[in-house]
């Protein structure tokens, strides 16, 4: 079931990505990084179909990635490599006229849709293939950070496209990139964000017991020493959802209205009670 969910997510993500590129980005003649950006540049100079260029590029990168990064990488990337060019070609043929004449609206919608598509694929633990592969190879062979390689490649690709595009389109494209990178970050952390609370109180024992019994949340006692009175005590740490935060505050105030609380948002939590069942 896990493998089936991954496969379905990759298909859905690539379909959404192709729709965002074919229906909005290409119709508005915006610029983009990655393999699609290279295809857009070659399409301008050589008049070759974008989907065909993406297909050839994806296959070449897939073979290189499979040889260097191994079979596991190939299995998670093969769907994107071969499916994305096909669905992109279908979108190009089906949607021939721009869906909107407003350039800003096209920029925002394409950014949202592209970010959603890529985010779904990455969240499934797969790759969109293409120009995602060289940074992974450089990271494995030379230790170069993946993010640094991607930024350098994207900037180079954007500069290549600027040779035939206007400054105005370049600025809109920067907005596009900012939008879809933000959406990707949100998609990657959706449903996993939790709140971490640290409680400092002389009634830590009662608060600790109440959190476990009344909120059904695990706790951790951290040894501490007061900076002013130099007294040894314990800090109660708990991770819980946003909805439970109000109940926690009420519970703590019930035992100690003068309690000191530190609350932080954490991006992801794994383990018993979150990614695993509370009880087997």
**pLDDT per residue over 58-98, tens digit each?**
888 888 887 887 776 677 678 888 888 899 899 988 988 88
Q: For residues 237 and 218, give the distance between their C-alpha atoms in angstroms, rounded to a whole number.
A: 9
Q: For residues 188 and 156, give the distance between their C-alpha atoms in angstroms, rounded to a whole number.
A: 26
Residue ranges of domains in the chain, CATH in brackets: 2-189 (no CATH), 194-266 (3.30.70.120)
Q: Going by DSSP bridges, is the β-strand pair 219-225/232-240 parallel, antiparallel, or unpaired?
A: antiparallel
Spatial CB neighbours of 162, under 8 Å, sequence gap ≥ 6: 31, 170
Question: Comparing C-alpha atoms, which of 23, 29, 45, 237 is closest to residue 114?
Answer: 23
**pLDDT per residue over 128-173, tens digit each?**
777 777 877 887 788 777 667 777 787 788 888 888 878 888 888 8
**Mean pLDDT across the stretch 36-45?**
84
Question: Comparing C-alpha atoms, which of 37, 114, 115, 133 is closest to residue 76?
Answer: 133
**pLDDT per residue over 234-278, tens digit each?**
999 999 988 889 899 999 999 999 999 999 988 777 777 776 776
Question: Comparing C-alpha atoms, which of 41, 75, 76 is closest to residue 57?
Answer: 41
Please give the torsion angle defined by the CA atoms of residues 92, 108, 120 and 185, in that order, rounded to the nearest 10 degrees: 150
pLDDT band at 123 (very low <50, low <70, confident <90, very high): confident
Q: For residues 153 and 135, give the distance between their C-alpha atoms in angstroms, rounded to a whole number.
A: 9
Question: Comparing C-alpha atoms, which of 122, 120, 143, 142 is closest to residue 132?
Answer: 122
Question: Comparing C-alpha atoms, which of 246, 243, 238 is closest to residue 264?
Answer: 238
The DSSP letter of residue 249 is: H
**pLDDT per residue over 180-191, tens digit each?**
888 887 887 776
Q: For residues 80 and 58, is the Cβ–Cβ distance under 8 A? A: yes
Q: Which helix (H) or strand (E) segment is 94 a member of?
A: helix 71-94
- Which residue carries 């949202």 as its tokens? 112
């Amino acid at each position: 079931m896990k493998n089936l969910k991954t496969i379905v997510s990759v298909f859905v993500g690539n379909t959404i990505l192709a729709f965002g590129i074919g229906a909005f980005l290409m119709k508005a003649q915006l610029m983009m990084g990655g393999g699609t950006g290279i295809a857009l540049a070659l399409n301008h100079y050589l008049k070759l179909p974008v989907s065909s260029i993406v297909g050839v590029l994806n296959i070449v990168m897939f073979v290189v990635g499979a040889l260097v990064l191994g079979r596991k990488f190939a299995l998670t990337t093969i769907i994107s490599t071969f499916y994305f060019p096909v669905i992109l070609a279908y979108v190009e043929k089906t949607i021939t006229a721009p869906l909107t004449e407003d350039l800003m609206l096209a920029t925002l919608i394409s950014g949202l849709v592209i970010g959603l598509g890529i985010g779904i694929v990455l969240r499934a633990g797969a790759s969109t293939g293409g120009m995602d592969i060289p940074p992974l190879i450089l990271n494995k062979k030379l230790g170069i950070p993946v993010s640094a390689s991607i930024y350098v490649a994207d900037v180079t690709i954007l500069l290549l496209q600027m040779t035939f595009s206007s400054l105005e389109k370049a600025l809109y494209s920067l907005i596009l990139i900012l939008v879809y990178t933000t959406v990707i970050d949100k998609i990657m952390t959706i449903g996993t964000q939790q709140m971490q609370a640290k409680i400092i109180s002389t009634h830590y024992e009662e608060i600790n017991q109440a959190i476990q019994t009344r909120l059904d949340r695990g706790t951790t006692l951290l040894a501490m020493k007061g900076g002013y009175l130099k007294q040894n005590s314990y800090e109660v740490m708990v991770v819980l959802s946003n909805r439970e935060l109000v109940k926690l505050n009420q519970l703590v105030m019930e035992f100690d209205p003068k309690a000191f609380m530190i609350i932080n948002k954490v991006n992801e939590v794994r383990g018993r009670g979150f990614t695993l069942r509370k009880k087997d």
